[in-house]
Structure 1
């Protein structure tokens, strides 16, 4: 315990360097949930998967934990090239004392900015840049994260809602058809959801729904 305390209280340059690295690591861990949600493809994936469950009308099936788990691993899969680039350009050199903390931040923000900029609509980015009074940047690296992150977030939400709408259409048709048939038969007291649910699940299985949704998400990036 004393050795751990001495790391932070010592004046030796090596101890100071270790302290900075530990502080940086703790900071990254504390910000990890926000980084994962708002600066990666996680938002789009988890929203689309939620729309799939809502359109099927299966209530809590699949469970929320399963959807989040799928979204997490798909996020790691899609973001792997970006994460590897950040590790090679920023994290590894910083751990080896080859670059400073400021240089590491600059090198790490480059790949993630490039990823977000490619998925951000010009209209959304202009909204936040105009509000902040920022002139048109010459390159992606010149866009501040405080502007790019919210623009990327609302762009991802719009894309996710567009995909969700397309997912809802075939299941909505089934619901309307079942409701019309029940009304024509005078069975108005029978909830249409009970009858339409098996047909929606059957349709989802026949078209290999999970494959289609997953492939659409992967191709979107």
Structure 2
């Protein structure tokens, strides 16, 4: 019997990073770490994933690490996790992004609020990011944030206290504290989908309120 594909860690070099990172967040962002101790992966100082100014060049400590993992699936069954950690540069933020499958056996196991809430809380406990989210990439692709945006909004979004205070949000949105670290924003109790106009309208309304609270930037499409 063939074994299931194993998730592979893929350290990303500066030459392959997406436009959001290439912008270097030169405008700065309120959601950023005031200070961050140096972080060393299990492989030590030469561990994979450490950011470098050029291929084979010296590590740039303040830029930390970037790793991505996936489940080996394809199409609607594809899931991935991206982790940016150990950054102390004020031009960037530490974050974790879990992109979820939309169909398949994995979707049935993952796409519930209790499961994803526990997953995001686990990411926060392990990595102490400035922000984190779990959700389908479909919404983020259709409603792209500006390159300088401090974070993206998902079905379940975490914001560190470093980002600011989350304002009251309309039902059915839930706000939950994560110890003394920050706040979870859960958009819907049921599965959030971009195919549901009410879900999209709710997400856009929440984004508008976060803009008013100074947590996000105005001007996304």
User: Between Structure 1 and Structure 2, which shows a larger proportion of helix residues?
Assistant: 1
Give TM-score, length-normalised by structure 1.
0.23
> What is the TM-score with the length of structure 2 in the denominator?
0.23
Bigger radius of gyration among the two: 1
Higher relative contact order (CA 8 A, sep 6+): 1
Structure having the larger proportion of residues in strand: 2
